[in-house]
Structure 1
Amino acid sequence: MIPAAPAGYKSGFAGIIGRPNVGKSTLMNQLVGQKIAITSPVAQTTRNRLRGILTTEEAQIIFVDTPGIHKPHHQLGKVLVHNAQLAIHSVDVLLFVVDASVPAGGGDRYIVDLLVNTQTPVILGLNKSDQQPPESQAQLDNTYTQLIEAKQWPIVKFSALTGEGVEALQQILIQHLEPGPYYYPPDLVTDQPERFIMGELIREQILLLTREEIPHSVAIAIDIVEEAPTITRVLATINVERDSQKGIVIGKGGSMLKEIGTAARQQIQKLIDGKVHLELFVKVQPKWRQSRTRLAELGYRVEE
């Protein structure tokens, strides 16, 4: 049961948008205090609009972490960008996250243009403040200040990695919310089922361990989850597009698949707080990113 919120309690939805790889998922994890979104050095890691839930004594914020907004090159990319753009109009406040360790670029300008006609309040978040060289800090910040010169958006500087400035960001977000109820039970940190998070944790290890060799042509299907008193058995299929990719994921003598499985199992054990037996299989699904049917089967649907 969801309890009644106290008088004057605030609640609402905050959309996190930005270019790929600016630290949106790291920020989501930092805000909710738990790993629910995968992170990797590879751009466009996030594929689904993942909701993270932060409940404090004064407010409940439901964060919507969106795929990085970029120029799509295949059907999957079109679905991701479409779903990210929908978030702009379906939340109470928008947090536009940029990578402040590098100057503002064309991708940032593209998103500013997308936001021109939105009625949703926007906050500009300068992330990666810990990675700014001290001698060029003001110069870097200025490129973003100039970018939104006519917008009068509040600017918050923080590091999603270290947590510095995140509490101040949280307070500014709460200021933009209206009084409202608990949308979710106060102890919940995400609305996604465990199976989805399990698949994401497996995909994260593939991105981390294979890097550029298997960029985005991999999708995970959780086939079986069997819970026993002492252990949870998980069977999952790693879908790739080509035989050569299957070879990379499996590795010589199965070494890469074993490494992926070991690392993913450790993450899943933290998620469910118990022992896990994980079995991984690799399947070739040619051109799955180009097929709307295959995308839907693998959980990538166009949101309305």
Structure 2
Amino acid sequence: MGKSTLLNALVGEKIAATTRKPQTTRHRILGIVTRGADQLILVDTPGIDTRSEKLLGRVLNQAAQAVFADTDAVLFVVEADRWESGDAQILEMLKQAGVKKLVLAINKVDRLERKEALLPFIERLQGLHAFSDIVPISGLRGVNLEPLVDVLQGFLPEGVHLFPEDELTDRSQRFRVTEVIREELLERLGQEVPYATAVEVESWKDTPTVTHIDAVIWVERDSQKAIVVGKGGRMIKSVGTAARHTLEQMLERKVMLRLWVKVREGWQADVDSIRRMGIDT
């Protein structure tokens, strides 16, 4: 649906992993948008997977739902001209949670083959729920983002800024490094293997000219390790090279990135392992 792409676009910097695969987000990530006297605290939740039977999936679903009660408004992002059973289930979940201020963002309007299909789609969704507002957007192309921010600002309570004006997120640079590496894994691997991976930064050392980063990619089985490493180490090399280029742009300095792949059997079914990966439980 592109909610992490939207978060990055609103903040103006890459702070969350974005891929073409669903359920990319695993962490609750704050994005901070300061516009004069107003400060929006945007919470990117893990994608809700209504089909997941694994402990990790249930943990991520709970983390997403826990946010509902602590927000002034909920932004529900769906894809233009595409309403699926999962979207209907999430809408029902939001209703049951008692969410009163629910804004619908219809994303990827730039990809509509027939622009005239947008209005009937909006009318269809208006019949499903009395949304506080509906805003067609494109997070990737930056279409209609200012009107969306204007709508969200209308829900802000009076109060002081919670963060300095130049702060964009509550997440550390180490976390953002793991997101960059995980994004490259998701983009390059098949359907199942990338979801069995997790990334942990083991060491970080800044020198006057280079930042040295060592990170571990965790998998659940030896067979998955072989896929991530690739024949002759080609896959892990391509992941490392692409991630390093992104990190050098992000950190604005030269980066030496070293990656290892290790096996931790059944980590997605173990609470302690999930916590070690920095995922809230």
Specify the TM-score bucket, using the shorter chain as the normaliser. over 0.9
Determine the structure 2 residue equivalent to 1:13. none
Determine the structure 1 residue equivalent to 2:53. 73
Deviation string, structure 1 residues 126-147 (Cα, Å, up to 9, x no partner): 1111112225333333332222
Deviation string, structure 1 residues 111-158 (Cα, Å, up to 9, x no partner): 22222252541111111111122253333333322221xx24211111
**In 2: Cα distance, 1:278 partner to 1:133 partner:** 41
Determine the structure 2 residue equivalent to 1:19. none
Determine the structure 1 residue equivalent to 2:75. 95
Determine the structure 1 residue equivalent to 2:254. 275
Query: What secondary structure does 1:215 align onto?
Result: helix
Determine the structure 2 residue equivalent to 1:127. 107
Runs of 4+ in 1 over 4 A off after TM superposition: none
**In 2: Cα distance, 1:161 partner to 1:246 partner:** 33
Deviation string, structure 1 residues 35-87 (Cα, Å, up to 9, x no partner): 11111111100000011111111311111001111222201101100000011
Aligned counterpart in structure 2 of residue 136 of structure 1, from 101, 108, 117: 117
Q: CA RMSD in A?
A: 1.3
**In 2: Cα distance, 1:96 partner to 1:158 partner:** 12
Give the conservation status (yes or no) of the 8 Å contact 1:219–1:238: yes
Give the conservation status (yes or no) of the 8 Å contact 1:100–1:128: yes
**In 1: Cα distance, 2:27 partner to 2:131 partner:** 30
Compute the TM-score of the two structures, normalised by the length of structure 1. Answer: 0.88
Corresponding letter in the other structure for 2:125: Y
Give the conservation status (yes or no) of the 8 Å contact 1:89–1:120: no
Aligned counterpart in structure 2 of residue 189 of structure 1, from 168, 173, 194: 168
Give the conservation status (yes or no) of the 8 Å contact 2:102–2:131: no
Determine the structure 2 residue equivalent to 1:173. 152
Determine the structure 1 residue equivalent to 2:98. 118
Give the conservation status (yes or no) of the 8 Å contact 2:81–2:117: no
Compute the TM-score of the two structures, normalised by the length of structure 2. Answer: 0.95
Query: What secondary structure does 2:195 align onto?
Result: coil
Give the conservation status (yes or no) of the 8 Å contact 1:92–1:120: no
Determine the structure 2 residue equivalent to 1:86. 66
* Count of residue pairs brought into register by the alignment: 278
Unaligned runs of 5+ in 2: none
**In 2: Cα distance, 1:107 partner to 1:79 partner:** 18
Determine the structure 2 residue equivalent to 1:18. none
Which moved further from structure 2: 59-68 or 212-221? 212-221
**In 2: Cα distance, 1:258 partner to 1:97 partner:** 35
Give the conservation status (yes or no) of the 8 Å contact 1:109–1:147: no
Identity across matched positions, percent: 39
Corresponding letter in the other structure for 2:194: P
Q: Residues 152 and 44 from structure 1, CA distance in 2 versus in 1: closer, same or farther, beyond 3 angstroms? A: closer
Deviation at 1:296, TM superposition (A): 1.2
Query: What secondary structure does 2:168 align onto?
Result: coil
Determine the structure 1 residue equivalent to 2:88. 109
Give the conservation status (yes or no) of the 8 Å contact 2:180–2:247: yes
Q: Residues 211 and 189 from structure 1, CA distance in 2 versus in 1: closer, same or farther, beyond 3 angstroms? A: farther
Deviation at 1:213, TM superposition (A): 5.0
**In 2: Cα distance, 1:44 partner to 1:271 partner:** 24
Query: What secondary structure does 2:141 align onto?
Result: coil
Deviation at 1:91, TM superposition (A): 1.1
Give the conservation status (yes or no) of the 8 Å contact 1:42–1:215: no
Unaligned runs of 5+ in 1: 1-21
**In 1: Cα distance, 2:190 partner to 2:46 partner:** 18
